[in-house]
Amino acid sequence: MNQVMTNSTHNERRPLVTLSQDVAERIAAGEVIERPVSVIKELIENALDAGAHEIRVEMRGGGLRLMRVTDDGCGIPADELERVYQRHTTSKIRSVDDLYQLHTLGFRGEALASIATIAEVTLLSRAIETEGEGVEEPAQWVMVRGGEVVQRGRRARPHGTTITVRDLFYNVPARLNFVRQSRTENGHVVQLIRRYAVGYPAVRFNLTIDEHTVLQAGGSGDLAVVLAELYHLPLQEMLHEVRVSDGEHYIVHGYVGNRVLAQGNRQYVTLFVNGRPVQVRSLQDALEQGYRGLLTRGKHPLLVLFLEVPPDEVDVNVHPAKIEVRLVRENEIMASLTQIVRSVLERSPASPEEVAFPGPLLATQRRLPGPRRRGLHVAESAEGYHAEVSTPGTAEVIAHLRPLAQLQQAVILAEAPDGSLYLIDQHRAHERVIYEHLRSTYTGGQREEQATDAHLLLEPVIVEMKRHQADLLEMRLPMLRGLGLECERFGGRSFLVRSVPDGEGHEQLAAHLQEVMEMAAEDSADWEDHLLIELACRSALRRGRDLGLGEQAALLKALAMVSAPAACPHGSPILLHYSRNFLIDRFDW
């Protein structure tokens, strides 16, 4: 009875009312500030928009007790200090038209007002124009709590701004309940600072958590150096610089890490649009399309890419946190992103070097890691190793590999002209060669009903399918003939396979036609590619087969002709590269 009365009460029409300023401001604050990292994000963006060259971030108690962001930007004039706490105040736009010509990160004009509604905020700032010969104006500070000014004063400091936030969510207990443990909130902030540090490599960043320095970026302006500082990466052979442009509407540039740096989550896949870090589903899918099939399932590369487009060809005002954007030429850009990632990883061999990635937090470190800690140590006295180093995994390098031996009837040991060594998995290498041959044949117009390059089996093979598989397979029989798979329905759910694709390894396929035809009847959009992979895998050289030096050389020559020589169609590495620097370092030559 009580439940019925409660429901009827909720269904009664209630009159419209105008929310009080206090309630409206707390709702607005909830939209902008979800957790401590939201505060840090807004304050860092303001510092970057102010032209800061150095940004220092301090946190205590997971950000609930204290957050402080200090910059050396242009500062805020004293007569505008209190106005920045008011809603809808901003120096970054003047009219609706400005929304389509944005050159800044922040523009909503509500960040500080929202933060001040749910925390105690102290703003200390000195405008850059107050410095100089004959000008001696101290910095001004204002403290606001719950949206009300409680203190004012003056203090000495160079130009720039310091914003201190204390007691976040002190008057919003419901939101406070959703804040995680300090370790979790700190982790979100570390990820955020890393993202902005790579996005703005010319800016020095320093993050201190509970009085321990956990992250530093030197602001060298060199993105590769910044990545090495943040993640303790060796610069050589780990990061590949990329750049592509249509010459008029967009430029994409940045770095893609090799397969050694692939991780089990997307945390290190970073994309910026006009300097703004974004998370656009379509663009993320385009990036994933570039490495899908070149990395093992569940692995994602380290990459930092910058997309630059004219301001009038991007709409950033589609998400409260400004992490989503709309692009006028999205399809063209997506194709470029896919190709950029693919071009690196399809030629990226595995490496025996141990890479501490991602690097540990620098809790006790007082200086940035030196060259040796980044893996750049090379013995000065090494003689006879001065050949020009080519990019590992390229077709030119593979074509000039000299096979030395076969190891365990599974791996080819080969030497490169520069003195480095390669281990090549013979099964995966042959699998890649066959796959690309089948793909080029199948996509080259060979979808005729008459089989092309087919090998007729001495005895047809009968395969049994499930009912839903049988119906799909019958529809796809004309397409299978284009691959050399001559197959016909043999009554009920049975099918008779008369031929297989011609070429080396066709004799192995007969024993695996049940699995092959099940793949051909797969109910997915990628069934054709999965079928090609299955055919290549079942036809490729098996481990345990002896290969003479001539056969090894022929396989390497064929591998040099494919588009993705570093990974098999399943995404597993084909090449293991022992660079000459690795050999010099390990043997201390």
How confident is the model over 141-173, as pLDDT tens digits?
999 988 788 999 998 888 999 999 999 988 888
- Domain check: are 129 and 272 in the same one? no
Confidence of residue 308 (pLDDT cuts 50, 70, 90): very high
Per-residue pLDDT of 368-395, as tens digits, reads 333 333 333 333 333 333 333 456 667 8
d(CA 151, CA 145): 9
- Whether 546 maps to a domain, the answer reads yes
- Domain check: are 335 and 393 in the same one? no
DSSP-derived secondary structure for 58-111: EEEGGGTSEEEEEE-SS---GGGTTGGGSTT--SS-SSGGGGGS--SS--SS-H
Confidence of residue 113 (pLDDT cuts 50, 70, 90): confident
- Picking from 314, 345, 376, the residue at the C-terminal end of a domain is 345
Do β-strands 54-60 and 204-209 pair in parallel, antiparallel, or remain unpaired? parallel
- Whether 367 maps to a domain, the answer reads no
Does 335 or 491 have the greater pLDDT score?
A: 335
- 432 has pLDDT over 50: yes
- Domains of the chain: total: 3
- Whether 557 maps to a domain, the answer reads yes
Domain that holds residue 448: 389-589
pLDDT at 559: 96
- Whether 543 maps to a domain, the answer reads yes
- Domain check: are 175 and 273 in the same one? no
- 573 has pLDDT over 70: yes
- Domain check: are 273 and 400 in the same one? no
- Domain check: are 78 and 164 in the same one? yes
d(CA 276, CA 316): 9
Specify the range with the lowest mean pLDDT, choosing from 47-51, 329-333, 369-373, 454-458.
369-373
3-state helix, strand, coil in the chain (%, to 5): 35, 25, 40
Cβ-contact 561, 342 below 8 angstroms: no
- Domain check: are 425 and 529 in the same one? yes
Average pLDDT, rounded, for the chain: 81
Q: Provide mean pLDDT across the span 265-282.
A: 89
Q: Who contacts 179 (Cβ-Cβ below 8 Å, separation ≥6)?
A: 35, 36, 62, 64, 169, 185
- 232 has pLDDT over 80: no
The CATH number that applies at residue 146 is 3.30.565.10
The CATH number that applies at residue 293 is 3.30.230.10
- 347 has pLDDT over 50: yes
Tokens, residue 211: 């009085």
- Domain check: are 398 and 543 in the same one? yes
- CA proximity to 199, closest of 45, 50, 92, 357: 45
- 92 has pLDDT over 80: no
- Domain check: are 491 and 545 in the same one? yes
Confidence of residue 174 (pLDDT cuts 50, 70, 90): confident
Q: Provide mean pLDDT across the span 47-64.
A: 93
- Whether 487 maps to a domain, the answer reads yes
Name the β-bridge partners of 331: none
| pLDDT-above-70 percentage for the chain | 79
- 87 has pLDDT over 70: no
- Whether 184 maps to a domain, the answer reads no
Cβ-contact 51, 74 below 8 angstroms: yes
- Picking from 345, 368, 400, the residue at the C-terminal end of a domain is 345
d(CA 476, CA 72): 66
Cβ-contact 208, 240 below 8 angstroms: no
Q: Provide mean pLDDT across the span 395-400.
A: 89
Q: Provide mean pLDDT across the span 59-82.
A: 91
- Single-letter residue type at 224: A
Around Cβ 325, how many Cβ atoms within 10 Å? 21
pLDDT at 193: 95
- Domain check: are 324 and 424 in the same one? no
- Domain check: are 153 and 85 in the same one? yes
- CA proximity to 120, closest of 165, 169, 61, 172: 165
pLDDT at 373: 31
Q: Who contacts 48 (Cβ-Cβ below 8 Å, separation ≥6)?
A: 55, 105, 196, 200, 203
- 548 has pLDDT over 50: yes
The CATH number that applies at residue 451 is 3.30.1540.20
- Domain check: are 547 and 466 in the same one? yes
Cβ-contact 314, 280 below 8 angstroms: no
CA 95 to chain centre: 35
Name the β-bridge partners of 562: none
pLDDT at 102: 52
Q: Who contacts 221 (Cβ-Cβ below 8 Å, separation ≥6)?
A: 201, 202
* Three-state secondary structure of 275-303: CEEECCHHHHHHHHHHHECCECCCCECCE
- Domain check: are 426 and 570 in the same one? yes
- Whether 217 maps to a domain, the answer reads no
Confidence of residue 359 (pLDDT cuts 50, 70, 90): low
Identify the H or E element spanning 28. Answer: helix 21-32
- Picking from 179, 214, 248, the residue at the C-terminal end of a domain is 179
Return the residue matching tokens 């798979």.
485
- Whether 216 maps to a domain, the answer reads no
